[in-house]
Structure 1
Amino acid sequence: MASGFKKVGIPILILVGAIAVMVGLISMKTQPEKDEIITRDFLIDAKPIEVQNVDFLVYSQGSVQPKNRTMLSAQVSGRVIAIADNFIEGGFFKKGDVLVELETADYQTDLLLAESEIARAQAAFDEEKARGKVAAQEWRSFNDGNAPELGLRKPQLAREEASVKAAQANLQRAERNLDRTKIRAPYDGLVKSRDVDLGKFISLGGQLGEVFATDVAEVRLPLTDDDIAFLADLSKESPQVTLSSDVAGKNIKWQGRLVRDEAVLDTQSRVIYGVVEVNDPYQLNAPAESKGMALRFGRFVSATITGITSSNMVVLPRNVLRMDGTILTVDDNKKIRINFVTVQRADEDFVYISDGLNPLEKVVMSAIPNPYEGMPVRFLDDEETPKTQPESTADDNAIEVK
């Protein structure tokens, strides 16, 4: 009996004692302090709304071309006997300069023949006029009435007068043909290409080369309907245009005017082309002290066109405008306001707001995940919390434990 008790009772006593010791230890443990959970408002960056007048700019690009270009051709035929030194690719010339000369022997002969013909016709006319006077005197000596026109030789006189006019016309043609053996420059310009050499026979209408006028350059700029909406009426004024291009590592600028548009949409690109004019692009007539870089034909340039001016506009970074067309602002109570705005224009960097914002509020410049109307926020420049309270600006409604 005693041995049985020992086998069963002793383990039970040990287990009960262990439980009693554990309960005692647990009862003596100090209860931990409860941490206070603090929810912070979302931290944002905001800036005051500024209303201003905006001069809109329209951007485009195009290539520089001459306003006038001419394919020189011969109005008479003949062999080339002289070519001007400046009639080479890239050569400059003045209006009236002789660029090419053709042989003149045949045309000088034609001129002599025309002069002799007009002398013969004039002599015949004078002779017929004298005969008419003699006939009139004879008629008056024998008759008292009016003489018939045939009796006074008026038809014959008219025929000789016509012969004189025809001879004069032939003389003028011969003089023109002789003068046309010298092909002159139609304006101040430069030579684009030359298609003639010494000794070459040029037929009537044969091409001699292509020349460009250097008084005015043009740049055709593609413009969309949105671009046109921000430009002034070209029939009333010509907006200022700044052309720019990188030349030898430097950004060079030229000034021009948008003078017209081509009035017809391009069937492929569906844009309309505006035409910018630049006076004296090669600086040929500019004073030596104020000469700049020449705007060469064929150069590709970027264009900045001064557009219309709009008042009471709010200009904001493009990223501030949300996908649904709204902009977040903060009122005096540091509550979020979701505003549906009227976007006058938007480009790669900015949006221009004409309506929908309260000038007394601030625009939220930082991103807010899942904002809602009336959401409380705090600013970067608000008073900092005590150092014993670590803060996090990464998450909305961050929880801090102290």
Structure 2
Amino acid sequence: MSSTRNRILVVALPVGAILISALLILRRPEPPRMPPPDRVATVTTEAVRPGSGAIPVLGNGTVRPRAEVELAAQVGGRAQWVSPSLVSGGRVRAGEVLVRIEQADYLNAVAQARAQVAQDSVAILQAEEESRIARDEYEQFRARRGSEAGEPSPLVLREPQLQAARASLARSIAQLADAELALARTELRAPFDGMVRSETVDPGSLVAVGQGVARLFATDVVEVVVPLSDVDAAVIPGLWELRPGDAVDRVAARVVVDYGGRRYAWDGWVDRAETALDEQSRTIDVVVRVADPLRPGAPVETGVDAGDPPPLLVGQYVEVQISGRSGDYQVVPRRALRPGNEVWAVADSVVRIVPVRVLQQAGDSVFVEGRFEAGESVIVAGTTLATDGMRVRRAG
């Protein structure tokens, strides 16, 4: 009996387990059905801005003076007087006396030269009178002797003595001019309107011939050398036809500086382009000039306190904006420009690949030429791959 019960349990237990498992499987809840993931990319777009006019060319450079010279003495002596303006940062005017060297020796030299001129002037009058008397005497002699008198020699007429007197007077006049020139050179004058960069002379110090006493730079005009790539330089109209100092065919430019948390600007022009490439950067140096740099700069931001506008300082690092050639163009964000000079345009959630010609990159904007349609925007983020006709969804 016991063995029969055991056999029934051996068979019943597995069968029961199978039945219970089947019942649980049949009564399990259905899993929720989820829609397949959306494969349409969500992208960020920005508008295309059409424009026309001059395309800006942006660059940077350091302000340098138009001219800088070392003021040196042409005569030697002791510095008798030094102008109060001759200090580092001092402003000077063209022709202003900056250093006066002691003049006593040079005044004496002028006086001696004038005395010699007066003496030689008397000598030439005497020589002319003696020559006239000698000619009169010869004429009387020839009147008595007739043809036997012959032609007189220059010595008889005292012509060599007259020529020597005239030469002596010419030499004395030249010596007087040299003495007066040396006297004038005892005053060292500013060659142009400018500022003093440094000075090395004080009253009482001994100045030698050729010794530099100060460094001056001109302040009527300053220059900014802007290194540009060939792509940027090609946008400047008539760059290679510009002539230094030409006041007619000028390309407008603007110099902007940051000072005290504000931005100030000065109007200028492109003066010339240097015809030698920089050997290291392979860039073209374009020279921009600004007149009257000591005038206060104009505030760039409107509607804010102008503060205390500074002058345009020599040695300052500045931003330069040059007016490029005029025409029609589109402005797109820099992030929209793709390798191969392509832009992914979007209209009605459909992508269109637009080839463009890059005219200029300025900050976060790119000036391009391309066939954009009305209402199109450009993709700036959200996908790294796009094809013509691909559908996208705009963020936001």
TM range (shorter): 0.7 to 0.9
SS at match of 2:338: coil
In structure 2, how many angstroms separate the alpha carbons of the residues matched to 1:329 and 1:38?
A: 28
Match in the other structure for 1:375: 390
Please give the residue correspondences for 1:2-401 in structure 2 after superposition, counting only pairs within 5 Å: 35=33, 37=35, 41-44=40-43, 49-53=48-52, 55-143=54-142, 148=152, 150=154, 151-234=156-239, 235-236=241-242, 237-283=249-295, 292-311=309-328, 313-330=329-346, 334-359=349-374, 361-368=376-383, 370-378=385-393
SS at match of 1:117: helix
In structure 1, how many angstroms separate the alpha carbons of the residues matched to 2:269 and 2:29?
A: 85
What is the CA-CA distance between 1:115 and the residue it aligns to?
1.1
In structure 1, how many angstroms separate the alpha carbons of the residues matched to 2:379 and 2:260?
A: 43
SS at match of 1:220: strand
Is the Cα–Cα contact under 8 Å of residues 341 and 357 in structure 1 kept in the other structure? no
Please say which of residues 47-56 and 319-328 is displaced more in the overlay.
Answer: 47-56
Is the Cα–Cα contact under 8 Å of residues 331 and 361 in structure 1 kept in the other structure? yes
In structure 1, how many angstroms separate the alpha carbons of the residues matched to 2:24 and 2:76?
A: 128
Deviations 1:310-358 (A, max 9, x none): 31x22211222233543323456x5433333333344552333313544
Is the Cα–Cα contact under 8 Å of residues 216 and 280 in structure 1 kept in the other structure? yes
Change beyond 3 A, Cα 1:339–1:166: same
What is the CA-CA distance between 1:296 and the residue it aligns to?
2.3
Change beyond 3 A, Cα 1:243–1:340: closer
The code of the aligned residue for 1:196 comes to V
Please say which of residues 133-142 and 79-88 is displaced more in the overlay.
Answer: 133-142
In structure 1, how many angstroms separate the alpha carbons of the residues matched to 2:24 and 2:313?
A: 97
Q: Provide the aligned length of Structure 1 versus Structure 2.
A: 371
What is the CA-CA distance between 1:228 and the residue it aligns to?
1.0
Q: Which runs of 5+ in 1 are unaligned?
A: 285-290, 382-402
The code of the aligned residue for 2:117 comes to I
Deviations 1:254-299 (A, max 9, x none): 2222211222222233223222222222239xxxxxx952222222
Deviations 1:133-189 (A, max 9, x none): 222222333326795461433332222111111111111111111121122222222
Change beyond 3 A, Cα 1:46–1:219: closer
Change beyond 3 A, Cα 1:148–1:280: farther
Is the Cα–Cα contact under 8 Å of residues 194 and 209 in structure 1 kept in the other structure? yes
The code of the aligned residue for 2:351 comes to I
Is the Cα–Cα contact under 8 Å of residues 317 and 350 in structure 1 kept in the other structure? yes
Please say which of residues 213-222 and 334-343 is displaced more in the overlay.
Answer: 334-343
SS at match of 1:341: strand
The code of the aligned residue for 1:85 comes to P
> Superposition RMSD on alpha carbons, in Å?
3.4
What is the CA-CA distance between 1:370 and the residue it aligns to?
4.3
SS at match of 2:94: coil
Change beyond 3 A, Cα 1:156–1:22: closer
Q: Which runs of 5+ in 2 are unaligned?
A: 243-248, 297-307
Q: TM-score, normalised by structure 2?
A: 0.79
Is the Cα–Cα contact under 8 Å of residues 50 and 359 in structure 1 kept in the other structure? no
Q: TM-score, normalised by structure 1?
A: 0.78
